[in-house]
């Protein structure tokens, strides 16, 4: 019900589902998660899907004797690149320009959306096809284009399900992971005809039938589109090459058939050389889809007279990333290659689902990335660093060794530091306790006073009733341990 309200208010605000901004106004994580946990179908869908991917990933990773070395290499390449990000971005710009592309710099979502909308309008087109892209979801590109009279068609199967169902993505890799086959069949039957070619008569819910329906629906869009929009998994600075890693072939269609290609990519996606890329092309498929080698890896460098788009634009997106880079603990978040392995092992994600995180980045990575990109001023963003048990499973599987629990604790400290009276009292109490514990004589005197007045101690602590209402305060002993020891053991 609350989800419906959030969706409705997003529409009233002129923001549609699937828009990164559509999550704004959602309740804080504990409230949203509590509602999701009560949804048996959602939990069953998530449990089945995450456990299946998790087990397959473990097998795929165990096949490699040098997995630990690859993981360490990935971490070091990312850290080295982030350390000199300005240098590699300028090198990338020079390479892309030399290869016939045009580079645009976007400081925030509004600027990126403006650039893309202007580029599409300059072509005279009112439709674009899209490759699945987290960056364009983050900035709410589809809705920004819609406001300009441009329709964006998602072509990834899961993104198509989300778009047709007027839903929001709930997983980085499998955005419709919260849907089962029956639900998808119903969405296709009722919605496909409103967007183009309708679902075939008598559509069933077998994977083959659903995939065929999507294929037929999308094909006419691929063949008609003059403008394609993508993100990129990697950008190679030394040659200006962009790389998209996907499993369905829809990306290959969007990247090669249209005359104009616009790629919106976060600045942290740059890698210096092809040797560096080699590491990630081994770790990403095994971590995300448990494949030894990715099915469709598309790479392009500028434009070519004979093949592919004749006009290529790269929009380099900051949108808070340089602020993340400035944070010594938080900057490791920018190593993320969006494999989603951390989501699939997270006990909190498995139960709460992706929508509860109030962002296009759900799960453990979302709990650390979103509050850094958006700040912690809203209730939902301030609650995200607490959306974890700190069990560390996310760190164990991360192919670039992001210590997510460390960043979570760091962000909790930041949120708490901005806290209200309760937090100030807690800090004062800890400071006073430190002073007493530093002085054994004062501590001993305090213990004796506490023991003699134990009959007067309250059962509840004022200001901490949230804690003491559901827990018994331990009863103070009649004499301090140090006095007992002196009498009985000295």
Q: Residue 340, interface with ligand SF4 (CB under 6 A)?
A: yes
Smallest separation (angstroms) from ligand SF4 to the CB of 338: 5
Smallest separation (angstroms) from ligand SF4 to the CB of 168: 18
Task: Return the number of the residue (281 or 476) whose C-beta is nearest ligand SF4.
Answer: 281
Binding residue for ligand SF4, selected from 103, 152, 236, 336, defined by CB under 6 A:
336
Q: Residue 60, interface with ligand SF4 (CB under 6 A)?
A: no
Binding residue for ligand SF4, selected from 116, 348, 400, 408, defined by CB under 6 A:
400
Please choose, out of 336-344, 374-382, 427-435, 467-475, the segment that lies near ligand SF4 by the rule CB under 6 A.
336-344
Binding residue for ligand SF4, selected from 158, 253, 342, 360, defined by CB under 6 A:
342
Largest CA distance in the chain: 95
Task: Return the number of the residue (315 or 402) whose C-beta is nearest ligand SF4.
Answer: 402
Residue matched to tokens 């006419």: 220
- Binding residues for ligand SF4, rule CB under 6 A, total 14
Task: Return the number of the residue (382 or 402) whose C-beta is nearest ligand SF4.
Answer: 402
Q: Could you write out the three-class secondary structure of the chain?
A: CHHHHHHHHHHHCCCCCCCHHHHCCCCCHHHHHHHHHCCHHHHHHHHHHHHHHHHHHHHHHHCCCCHHHHHHHHHHHHHHHHHCHHHHHHHHHHHHHHCCCEEEEECCHHHHHHHHHHHHHHHCCCEEEECCCHHHHHCCHHHHHHHCCCEEEECCHHHHHHHHCCCCCCCCCCCCCCCCHHHHHHHHHHHHHHHCCCCCCCCCCCHHHHHHHHHHHHHHHHHHCCEEEECCCEEECCCCEEEEEECCCHHHHHHHCCCEEEEEEEHHHEECCHHHHHHHHHHHHHHHCCCCCCCEEEEEECCCCCCCCCEEEEEEECCCHHHHHHCCCHHHHHHCCCCCHHHHHCHHHHHHCCHHHCCCCCHHHHHHHHHHHHCCCCHHHHHHHHCCCCCCHHHHHCCCCCCHHHHHHHHHHHHHHCCCHHHHHHHHHHHHHHHHHCCHHHHHHHHHHHHHCHHHCCCCCCCCHHHHCCCCCCCCCCCCHHHHHHHHHC
Task: Return the number of the residue (235 or 342) whose C-beta is nearest ligand SF4.
Answer: 342
Q: Residue 339, interface with ligand SF4 (CB under 6 A)?
A: yes
Q: Residue 337, interface with ligand SF4 (CB under 6 A)?
A: yes
Binding residue for ligand SF4, selected from 397, 407, 408, 411, defined by CB under 6 A:
397
Please choose, out of 46-54, 335-343, 416-424, 429-437, the segment that lies near ligand SF4 by the rule CB under 6 A.
335-343
Binding residue for ligand SF4, selected from 217, 269, 321, 338, defined by CB under 6 A:
338
Task: Return the number of the residue (174 or 397) whose C-beta is nearest ligand SF4.
Answer: 397
Q: Residue 129, interface with ligand SF4 (CB under 6 A)?
A: no
Smallest separation (angstroms) from ligand SF4 to the CB of 386: 18
Q: Residue 399, interface with ligand SF4 (CB under 6 A)?
A: yes
Smallest separation (angstroms) from ligand SF4 to the CB of 362: 10
Question: 230 pairs with which residues across the strands?
Answer: 263
Task: Return the number of the residue (139 or 339) whose C-beta is nearest ligand SF4.
Answer: 339
Interface positions, 283-322, toward ligand SF4 (CB under 6 A): 287
Smallest separation (angstroms) from ligand SF4 to the CB of 303: 31
Task: Return the number of the residue (316 or 400) whose C-beta is nearest ligand SF4.
Answer: 400
Task: Return the number of the residue (49 or 400) whose C-beta is nearest ligand SF4.
Answer: 400
Instruction: Please give the residue ranges that form the binding site for ligand SF4 (CB under 6 A).
Output: 287, 336-342, 365, 397-400, 402
């Amino acid at each position: 019900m609350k989800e419906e309200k959030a969706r409705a208010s997003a529409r009233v605000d002129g923001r549609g589902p699937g828009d990164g901004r559509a999550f704004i106004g959602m309740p804080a994580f504990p409230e949203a998660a509590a509602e999701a946990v009560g949804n048996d179908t959602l939990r069953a869908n998530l449990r089945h899907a995450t456990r299946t991917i998790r087990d397959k990933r473990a097998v795929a990773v165990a096949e490699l004797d040098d997995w630990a070395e690859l993981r360490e290499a990935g971490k070091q390449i990312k850290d080295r690149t982030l350390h000199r990000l300005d240098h590699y971005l300028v090198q990338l710009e020079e390479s892309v320009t030399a290869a016939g592309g045009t580079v645009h710099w976007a400081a925030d979502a509004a600027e990126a959306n403006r650039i893309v909308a202007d580029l599409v309008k300059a072509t005279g087109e009112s439709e674009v096809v899209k490759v699945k892209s987290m960056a364009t979801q983050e900035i709410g590109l589809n809705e920004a284009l819609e406001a300009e009279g441009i329709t964006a068609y998602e072509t990834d199967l899961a993104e198509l399900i989300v778009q047709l169902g007027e839903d929001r993505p709930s997983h980085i890799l499998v955005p419709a992971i919260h849907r089962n086959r029956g639900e998808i069949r119903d969405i296709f039957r009722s919605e496909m005809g409103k967007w183009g070619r309708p679902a075939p008569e008598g559509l069933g819910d077998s994977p083959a039938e659903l995939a065929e329906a999507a294929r037929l629906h999308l094909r006419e869009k691929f063949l008609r589109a003059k403008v394609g929009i993508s993100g990129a998994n990697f950008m190679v600075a030394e040659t200006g090459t962009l790389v998209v890693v996907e499993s369905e072939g829809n990306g290959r269609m969007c990247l090669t058939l249209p005359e104009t290609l616009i790629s919106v990519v976060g600045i942290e996606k740059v890698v210096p050389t092809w040797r560096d890329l080699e590491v990630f092309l081994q770790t990403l498929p095994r971590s995300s889809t448990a494949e030894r080698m990715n099915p469709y890896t598309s790479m392009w460098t500028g434009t070519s007279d004979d093949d592919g788009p004749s006009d290529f634009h790269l929009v380099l997106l900051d949108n808070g990333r340089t602020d993340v880079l400035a944070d010594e603990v938080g900057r490791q978040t920018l190593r993320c290659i969006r494999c989603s392995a951390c989501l699939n092992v997270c006990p909190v994600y498995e139960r709460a689902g992706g929508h509860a995180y109030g962002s296009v980045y759900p799960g453990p990575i979302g709990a650390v990335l979103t509050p850094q990109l958006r700040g912690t001023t809203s209730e939902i963003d301030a609650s995200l660093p607490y959306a974890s048990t700190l069990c560390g499973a996310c760190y164990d599987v991360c192919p670039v060794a992001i210590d997510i629990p460390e960043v979570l604790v760091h962000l909790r400290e930041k949120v708490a530091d901005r806290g209200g009276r309760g937090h100030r009292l807690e800090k004062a109490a800890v400071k006073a306790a430190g002073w007493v514990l530093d002085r054994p004589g004062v501590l001993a005197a305090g213990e004796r006073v506490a023991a003699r007045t134990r009959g007067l101690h309250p059962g509840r602590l004022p200001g901490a009733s949230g804690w003491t209402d559901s827990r018994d305060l331990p009863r103070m002993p009649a004499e301090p341990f140090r006095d007992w020891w002196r009498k009985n053991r000295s």
